[in-house]
């Protein structure tokens, strides 16, 4: 028996009857995917290695998904099976690999790039390293002494810089994180995936950092890589995104200590029926878009309940949603607005939390769609600004960490049906703000409300300035009113800051007209009072920076106007004896 045959024998002995799952993310690989899959299968069949190939099409636009579906229908019976996963929309490497892992069943899981830049004939090296080092994870390393890598010089330089920073800040005991071939024991990969937040550029780094912190032993294996000339210049946006994601991993790992205490959702024993309730005034292109998003869901056990005025009469959203709750047959009711459409994994990622009986509700971010009109995107930038949303910025952007919250809007909210039935659903005497009171009732019932950054909907924004400010003003008025009447989940200091800013502006105007003797105590006190306003405008301009000067100016002006109008309306709500019962107008919530 040759040395190579001995290595394959070791791989077979390690896998035994447990099977190797090869998860292969692919994107626009129509010309090569069939050849690559058949070549990989033939290799494993030749060496009698029990395996399943799990190619994950991450929203390809060149027909890759159709090829995978055709192959699955005609795939011959052998020791190597084919189980493709088709994602309708591109969700990033993290989402693709998670989908592939969920579809796989092997005791060992190999992550392998679908373009086969690293050929699977190197598989025995990974099992050898796993057995020899008693490792839980084996990663291919371009810097291994026995690696053979044809690599463009600029990629070598960027890789070296990135590796140096990773070793310095993250402390991983390996020399490479980005190589596209890795072998995991299933339980270790599942534990790490359950805590992950990154979907794209720093996915590999976060995955390995979590596993290492959780006690997994990581070893390296040599690889042979032939990149050829397919890599062009690195985009500045890619480098920037990679750096930002990596810094976020460092922050969560070393400073926040998030991964050590992150909750791993407990999946239900079976797939529960979800009732998706959509309150809307009438049919529209946005409703069609929402329904199309539901049609593309990776989770199939759900029903959709659409509630237009023609069915319910012209009533408030809370009343419509209560009608939907009464009609719902599901164990979980999912609320989404008609001007939002869900990510393909929306239901799949949300349902897994409801195996934990302590969780009564779940929310996720409502991000600005990439195809929104320009002025609506400006509205999205304003909401996304830390100067406007502060600690609640997670509602408007993907990312952040999982956490318990005390209030969440109904544009993206899942609630147990039994819980809704126990207190009668939504209160119908307020709009907007009915979702805040619903969350108060959920908390009062002793249940938790959890936020997950992967449970995403795309929520169309109001254009600046009038529609944006009109919507913001309604929210502000009811928040001010709720602070005194329903303080348990509304009485937070951050809500008062815009109101205090308005008071400061009103005082600043007469104060700026006061004359004092230079150098006197009164002069110094007056200067100290006047100085924060120019500093405020400086901070606003720095925080809203854009290479497009028009975008920069509109966002900065929008932030200022949002602060002022929110403050004015909040004070009005705080002073109001009764909140008006508003009905849906042309700018429905």
Beta-bridged to residue 221, according to DSSP, are: 140
Which pTM does this prediction carry? 0.82
Would you say residue 414 has pLDDT above 80? yes
Would you say residue 527 has pLDDT above 90? no
Would you say residue 173 has pLDDT above 80? yes
Distance set, CA 185 to CA 49, 111, 130 (Å): 16, 11, 9
Query: Token pair for residue 38?
Result: 């058949």
With 0-12 / 13-18 / 19 or more C-beta atoms within 10 angstroms meaning exposed / middle / buried, residue 538 is exposed
Q: Distance between CA 23 and CA 410 in Å, rounded?
A: 36
pLDDT at 309: 93
- Mean pLDDT across 201-213: 88
CB 248 within 8 A of CB 399: yes
pLDDT at 171: 82
Lowest mean pLDDT across 103-112, 251-260, 464-473, 537-546: 251-260
- Mean pLDDT across 567-577: 94
More confident residue, 350 or 89: 350
Render pLDDT for 246-294 as a digit per residue (tens, 0 to 9).
Answer: 888 888 888 888 888 887 888 888 899 999 999 999 999 999 999 999 9
Distance set, CA 154 to CA 160, 162, 166, 219, 506 (Å): 10, 12, 18, 27, 56
- Give the DSSP H/E element, type plus range, for residue 362: strand 359-363
More confident residue, 585 or 167: 167
pLDDT at 583: 47
Would you say residue 69 has pLDDT above 50? yes
What are the helix and strand counts (H, E) for the chain?
A: 23, 20
- Mean pLDDT across 282-311: 94
Q: Which long-range contacts (CB under 8 A, 24 or more apart) does 211-217 make?
A: 211/136, 211/137, 212/172, 212/173, 213/253, 213/259, 213/260, 214/188, 214/259, 214/260, 216/136, 216/137, 216/188, 216/192, 217/133, 217/134, 217/135, 217/136, 217/137
Lowest mean pLDDT across 221-230, 297-306, 525-534: 221-230
Would you say residue 586 has pLDDT above 50? no
Q: How confident is the model at residue 232 (pLDDT cuts 50, 70, 90)?
A: very low
State what percent of residues in the chain have pLDDT above 90: 62
pLDDT at 450: 96
Q: Which residues of 552-568 are buried (b: 16+ CB within 10 A; e: fewer)?
A: eebbbbbbbbbbebbbb
Q: Distance between CA 436 and CA 322 in Å, rounded?
A: 15
Q: Distance between CA 563 and CA 573 in Å, rounded?
A: 15
- Mean pLDDT across 383-402: 90
Would you say residue 306 has pLDDT above 60? yes
State what percent of residues in the chain have pLDDT above 70: 95
Beta-bridged to residue 111, according to DSSP, are: 23, 182
- Who contacts 66 (Cβ-Cβ below 8 Å, separation ≥6)? none
- Mean pLDDT across 456-483: 94
CATH number listed for the domain at residues 274-468: 3.90.550.10
For residues 140, 142, 143, 147, the Cα torsion angle rounded to the nearest 10 degrees is 90
Lowest mean pLDDT across 407-421, 467-481, 512-526, 574-588: 574-588
Lowest mean pLDDT across 93-102, 131-140, 282-291, 459-468: 93-102
Would you say residue 589 has pLDDT above 50? no
- Give the DSSP H/E element, type plus range, for residue 167: helix 153-169
Domains of the chain, residue spans: 3-261, 274-468
Q: Distance between CA 113 and CA 65 in Å, rounded?
A: 16
Q: How confident is the model at residue 145 (pLDDT cuts 50, 70, 90)?
A: confident
Render pLDDT for 84-116 as a digit per residue (tens, 0 to 9).
Answer: 998 877 777 778 888 899 899 999 999 998 888
CB atoms within 10 A of CB 580: 12
- Mean pLDDT across 580-588: 52
- Homologous superfamily of 3-261 in CATH? Spore Coat Polysaccharide Biosynthesis Protein SpsA; Chain A (3.90.550.10)
Q: Can 3-261 and 274-468 be said to share one CATH topology?
A: yes
DSSP designation for 118: B
CB 40 within 8 A of CB 127: no
- Mean pLDDT across 212-218: 93
pLDDT at 451: 95
Render pLDDT for 359-381 as a digit per residue (tens, 0 to 9).
Answer: 999 999 999 999 999 999 999 99
pLDDT at 138: 96
With 0-12 / 13-18 / 19 or more C-beta atoms within 10 angstroms meaning exposed / middle / buried, residue 366 is buried
**DSSP letter string over 215-231?**
T--EEEEE-EEE-TT--
Would you say residue 200 has pLDDT above 80? no
Task: Quote the mean pLDDT of the chain.
Answer: 89
């Amino acid at each position: 028996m040759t040395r190579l045959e001995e290595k394959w024998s070791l791989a077979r002995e390690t896998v035994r009857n447990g099977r190797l799952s090869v998860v292969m993310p692919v994107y626009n690989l129509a010309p090569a995917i069939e050849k690559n899959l058949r070549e990989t299968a033939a290799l494993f069949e030749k060496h009698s290695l029990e395996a399943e190939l799990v190619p994950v099409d991450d929203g390809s636009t060149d027909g890759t998904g159709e090829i995978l579906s055709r192959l699955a229908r005609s795939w011959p019976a052998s020791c190597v099976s084919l189980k493709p996963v088709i994602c309708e929309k591109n969700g990033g490497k993290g989402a693709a690999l998670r989908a592939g892992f969920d579809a796989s069943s092997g005791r060992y899981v190999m992550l392998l790039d679908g373009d086969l830049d690293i050929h699977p004939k190197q598989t025995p090296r990974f099992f050898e390293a796993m057995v020899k080092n008693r490792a839980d994870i084996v990663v291919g390393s371009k810097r291994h002494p026995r690696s053979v890598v044809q690599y463009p010089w600029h990629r070598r330089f960027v890789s070296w810089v990135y590796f140096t920073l990773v070793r310095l800040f993250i402390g991983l005991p390996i020399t490479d994180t980005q190589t596209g071939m890795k072998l995991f024991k299933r339980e270790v990969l599942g534990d790490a995936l359950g805590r992950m937040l990154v979907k794209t550029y720093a996915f590999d780094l976060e995955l390995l950092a979590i596993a290492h912190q959780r006690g997994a032993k990581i070893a390296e294996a040599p690889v042979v890589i032939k990149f050829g000339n397919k890599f062009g210049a690195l985009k500045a946006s890619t480098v920037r995104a990679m750096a930002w994601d990596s810094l976020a991993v460092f922050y969560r790992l070393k400073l926040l200590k998030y991964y050590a205490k992150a909750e791993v959702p407990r999946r239900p024993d079976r797939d529960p029926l979800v009732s998706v309730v959509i309150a809307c005034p009438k049919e529209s292109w946005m409703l069609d878009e929402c329904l199309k998003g539901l049609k593309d869901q990776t989770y199939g056990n759900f029903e959709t309940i659409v509630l237009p005025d023609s069915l319910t009469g012209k009533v408030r959203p809370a009343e419509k949603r209560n009608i939907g709750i009464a009609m719902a047959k599901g164990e979980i009711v999912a609320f989404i607005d008609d001007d939002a459409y869900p990510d393909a994994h929306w239901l799949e990622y949300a349902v897994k939390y409801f195996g934990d009986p302590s969780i009564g509700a779940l929310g996720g971010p409502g991000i600005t769609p990439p195809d929104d009109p320009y002025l609506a995107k400006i509205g999205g930038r304003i909401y996304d600004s830390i100067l406007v949303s502060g600690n609640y910025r997670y509602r408007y952007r993907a990312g952040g960490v999982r956490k318990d919250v005390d209030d969440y809007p109904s544009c993206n909210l899942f609630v147990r049906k039994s819980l809704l039935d126990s207190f009668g659903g939504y209160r119908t005497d307020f709009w907007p703000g009915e979702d805040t009171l619903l969350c108060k009732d959920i908390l009062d019932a002793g249940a938790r409300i959890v936020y997950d950054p992967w449970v995403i909907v795309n929520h169309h924004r109001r254009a600046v300035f009038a529609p944006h400010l009109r919507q913001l003003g309604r929210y502000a008025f009811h928040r001010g009113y709720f602070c005194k009447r329903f303080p348990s989940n509304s009485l937070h200091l951050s809500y008062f800051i815009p109101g205090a800013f308005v008071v400061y502006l009103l005082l600043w105007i007469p104060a700026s007209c006061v004359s004092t003797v230079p150098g006197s105590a009164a002069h110094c006190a007056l200067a100290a009072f006047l100085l924060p306003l120019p500093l405020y405008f400086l901070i606003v301009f720095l925080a809203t920076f854009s290479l497009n000067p028009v975008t920069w100016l509109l966002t900065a002006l929008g932030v200022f106007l949002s602060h002022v109008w929110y403050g004015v309306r909040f004070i009005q709500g705080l002073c109001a004896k009764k909140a008006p019962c508003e009905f849906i107008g042309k700018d429905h919530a």
